[in-house]
Structure 1
Amino acid sequence: MPLRKSQSAESSAWKLIAWTAFVGLLFGLLQLGEIAEDFLRTARNNLHTHSASGDIVVVGIDEDSLRQVGRWPWPRRQHGQLIDKISAGGAKEIYLDIQVDTRGDPADDAAFAAALRRSGKVTVPVFSRSGPGTEQKVGSLRTNPFLKDARLGSVSLFYNYQNAAWHLPFATRWDGQDVPTFSALMGGKASPSGEAYMLDYSIDPKSVPFVSAGDLLTGKIGLGQFAGKKVIIGAAAEILGDQYFIPGTGKMPGAYVHTIGAETLKRGTPVELGWILPYLAAVAIAAFVALRRIERPRSVIFGAATALFLLAPALLEMNLIFVEVVPALAVTWIVWGILARRSFRTGGLTNAVSGLPNLNALRNNRAGRTQALIAARVLNYDEIAAALPAGQERQLIEQIVSRLRVGSPERVLYQGDGGIFAWFEDSEQPVSNHVEALHVLFRNPARVDGLPIDLSVSFGVELGSSRTLSNRLASALVAADEAAHDGLKWKYHDPETLEDASWKLSMLSQLDDAVDKGEVWVAYQPKLDLQTRRIVGAEALARWTHPEKGPIAASEFIAAAEQHDRIGKLTDFVLESAIKSAAALNRKDPGFGMAVNLSARLLGDKGFVLRLRAMLARHGLAPHLLTLELTETAALAGNGSAFDMLAALRELGVTIAIDDYGTGLSTLDYLKKIPASEIKIDQSFVKGMLDNRSDLVMVQSTIALAHSLERKVVAEGVEDQTVLDALVDMKCDVAQGYVIGRPMSLESLTKRLAGSRRSSVA
């Protein structure tokens, strides 16, 4: 069966390659991609645009020239005057892209012929214009009256649907002889008729020197710019009709087409490789991917091939080597799209290693919505798979699958990455007995090529609900993880954990709204000066009273806000409230300080100092009365920008305190670097210092060290009088804790200060 399946897949791949190769062949032979090819070549030209050499000057008969002379066609003597002036300027060669193959006014013709003889370096044209559905041929070698005084050249060209000439001939056949084109003569390249070359439109036509014929005739410009140059005279006014589309630039006179052709040939002889080589390369790449059934790097290979076909021609064209890539792109993109579609419909629902249906297939199984869902997680799968030799992971999976199918050989198992397996069971069957029995089977080691391998597995069960299969699968996997964490064999999904998860997911967005709605408020915990026994300050603490859930633990919502980088708005709110309250308290009791916790996340906020300065100014609070408390861990982890922020805060005049001191990895060097004026000893040491000698030594040494560095010491977590008395004996500066006062409202703090500022704690 697997062999037959493999043969069928290979046959399908060959059919895909053959059909796509045929389509690409049609693109090339019938030029079906001409429009796309022109667009791509124009886009590539923009990648390496460069200026013309400046050796060829265009003298254009533009609108101003027509107004100056007054009629068209011009009398031949006017052209003769142009030739005389250009010749007098020292031009090397002159090319007249104006029809002069018939006789006109005898006097004008004589004046024109005389100018040709005086110059001796003029080329006059015969030309043909051919495009889609039309051809125009003008001029004859037998009837042209001026050939004895001038050289003959061809201005023949072919224009496409866009009125653009991508190719120019080297020569054209006229009256039995080869006549070289203007571009071939100016570019110095000769070749027999019938051969053409690709124009390099990466040459900027606007960089070609241009002179108005009218300005030249009236003497408005000097003649020195023609010295040693080749000059082409042509119609430039749009009304004269000699206009073509220059790819990447727009409509321009035909003289520019010949000039770009000449500039191309001056760089070298263009080489056209056509579309065959890129097309064959695309077929080979597509066959390599399709026949080998490469899955994971498929997009990388086809993406690289696309980049190659789009960009490599630009490098070739810089050296005048031209290729056509649309047939190759057609092959690449068709095979890529079909394989991707097949992968989505079939391979996208199958595990690439085992051939089992994957978790996407599980999510698409509508019949499973009414059944119990069981998920098994092999906890050490990644570790085992990494240690196995190449090709043996499938054997491991077969061992796992054989055990999970015990008692039900036809069970459909779904496999995910990282050792995840899942299946559906009848919800009316005793799932617990079934899962217990499966767990027992995994006590015996699996064997891969004779090597015993211990498997650690846990199970999660979701009995069924109205939720989507994706959500149910996630719940079953969470239950399996919880079972592994709790040391259990398996576990049911608990719906209450889902409610808790929903609350955690929405908590941060609700927190932002709570700040705006006034559900978040600030409590103040007083600080006691241990020398004067007076309340000298307070710490501002954020509190959240949810309208439905009631008070939310600060440790919960503040930690979540910090973890998800949403702490800024909350901190600004607490700072604004604390500074406003401190300013009000200082109007009655000068010198009252206020402390606010500062998240390490804000040390990189360049606008924080400006906002803080504005708050202090707005409420009229002296900066030294505000203390910003930064956790020791955050301070120690501060990089250069964090230290710069702390220095800026100190320069503002704000007091910096190291909070939770002792819980990090403090060193004397860091204490010297951090511009802190205050150290707060973590409450875990303060609470246990009378019962634990290590904590006592920690508190004593911290006080001594801080005082030696001229830092103030605050002890937090003081909850009984004996600890407070001990801190007084140790010469601690300030204490904070329940024995002094719990966090309270501003109104309660104001009453406390009014009634007991001068009293000591008994």
Structure 2
Amino acid sequence: MVRLRLLAGLTRSARSLVLIAACLVGIAAALAGAGRDFDNQVREKRYEHLPKPPSGDLVVVTIDTQSIKTLGTWPWPRSRHGELIDAIDGDGARRIAFDIIFDQPAADLRQDKLFARALSRSHSDIYLATLLENRLNTRDVHQALPTAALLPFVTPVSIWVKSDPDQFHRRIPLNMPVLGETLPVLAQALAGTTFPDEGRLLIDWSYWPERIPHISYADVLAGNFPKGFFKGKSVLVGYDAFGIGDQYSVPYHNKVAGMYIQAVAAETLLAGRPTDLGDWPALFAALLLVCAAVPLTALFRSFVLALGILAFPLGQIIIEHLSLVRLDIGAGTIAIGAGLVAHILLATAQSMLDRITKSAEAGLPNMAAMELNEREEGVTVVVCLRNYVETTALLGFAAQGKLLGKIRDRLILAAGHERIYQIDNHSFAWRSEEQVPEVVGSLEGLEALFGPGVQVDQLTVDIALNAGFCDEPSLSVGEALPKAVLAATNAINRGVLWERYETDDDEVFWKLSILNEFEQALKRGDVWVAYQPKLDLHAGAITGAEALIRWSHPERGFIRPDRFVRAIEDAGRIERLTLYVLERAIADFAPLGLSVAVNLSMRMLGKNRLEAPLRVLLDTYGMPADKLTLEITESANMADDQGIAELEALRALGVHISIDDYGTGQSTLSYLKRLPASELKIDQNFVRQVLTSRSDAVLINSTIKLAHELDMQVVAEGVEDQNVLDALARMECDIIQGYHIGRPMALEDFLRKLGLPAPRRNSRDAA
């Protein structure tokens, strides 16, 4: 269960965890530079598939294999470089730069003089490379400027480059310190830019080196180029012979000569200096995307995050191709990927949790889910389906899920919330935070909810059920469920709708102490009277109520009337209870001018113990006798002559006599003829089937007509919805009673329902 709770906790926090995972992983990736490889791979795709044309402002003069074959073994005399400068300068070049280091005097000093003379007469800006190297990766750095003979006529520039950890050259510093002086990089000289900072330029390798205009060194000396070929351009002279070396690894293009790093960097600067935003803007956008995806359903969240992983590289390619913005999306993409992975893992965990916590038949929450979710104290309720096996055999396995789902939907109405659990294939349970009387009221409404049957695939299925509950709040769900199941089983065995869990010791003690406890309950006020409203269809208003005894035990909670009324009757103390209910009902309703009905035990009739105290009560509280109805059960034994005489005396007094639960007993027309009744009360078992059972509808309709012929009113109890009420109205029923009109409630709630002020209790009422 601990692991299950941990799994549930993770799935409940799934949305937050997705965002947290994206944030933590994305920030860590940005700080550690973990997204660099991804950025590099995406940019290589851009370099490959979206090449850019060179500016045309740069020409490369290559010291290639052809030139070496033509001019002889390298190195050449420096006077030859002077000849090259004369040829290029004579054609109108703007700048001439050598990616060749002249840090040592020539062996023949005349060569330096000839070279210097050519430099001095050139109209072009001349740039010579400086030496800056650390071959042994130590602190000792070798630095050198062009030789003193050449330096007065040139501008020294840096050609130093540093590779990334994977030995690829992607960036170049704009300026470098050499011998205490900050020199621009050769690429800046070629592009004519003067950025003073030491920032590193991300080289745009979509300028393919082979597409930059180039010409062989030997062809320049031989004059094999069109006039104006160099006019107004920057010219880079450097090695491009594999035998000389000077080869470097670069993105997409593999190995290139070192001078092409400077050339492509110059083309990059000629288009404008790129703005490098780094990881954080894309990471911020990625986290915003994850935030936007978090509230979505699981499927759409997966789609959005997966789309983000694809869109970010595409966005980087488009942005960098069309603008000077350089955006690192590696950390952001990793953040989205982390969110997606977290989502997938948590979705898998949710799937595992669903398999553990849902029933196989209908996919409803099961007992494991109930133990997992219901942690608060409350009353544990179990409802068992008695005819589940027969029903599923009739419907077939495929329809079981539909049936169970519809049963659960109706139980939600009874429970007042959606936390209903299928604890086995024929039982449901829930945990209620209400008090026992409210729970019992919900259970008593089950017959009304399931009376019309459940519609499944054009078939109406009758559902027979019983309930049990355990109201020991300190027990966990796992401890209380077996006790509630046992109570439901006892309800089935006893043939009652619901049963409260009690131990055997509790039951024995209860039977021995019930009478004494009842007397104490009367004194404490634990026994009270609830009122269920009655709607007069002719007046269109609530004109009265039925008084119902209730016992709220301080330890046992709500005690069902059938558990104590029978015991009180058997002990000969029903008179005490009846007079208590009569006095309470008369005292409460006399000031209201409304009618009230009280159930009367047949055991009180024929002993002349009812008429006299009833007269006293009516006189004391000033209630007209015709506002009081005494209900006698039709299924009770036939009253003897003395009992009927007493009923006639009460009727003569003006009190109404009602035959309760009509239709459930074995009465005959002579029974109706002998009793001085003014009202028939049709049992709820017939009323609930009035829309679904033709025979019940016929019986109710004929009963109403018969009662009217005998000058009797008809009350229909158990009315639970408007359709049943409308059907009874069409049959000209007089009074309606049931949960659709109102549940049994305390006097204060009854008055509130009618919009009347709460009563003032005097000392006599309180007694």
TM-score, normalization: structure 2?
A: 0.46
Q: Greater CA radius of gyration, 1 or 2?
A: 2
The two structures have a TM-score, normalised by structure 1, of: 0.47
Structure with greater contact order relative to length (CA < 8 Å, sep ≥ 6): 2
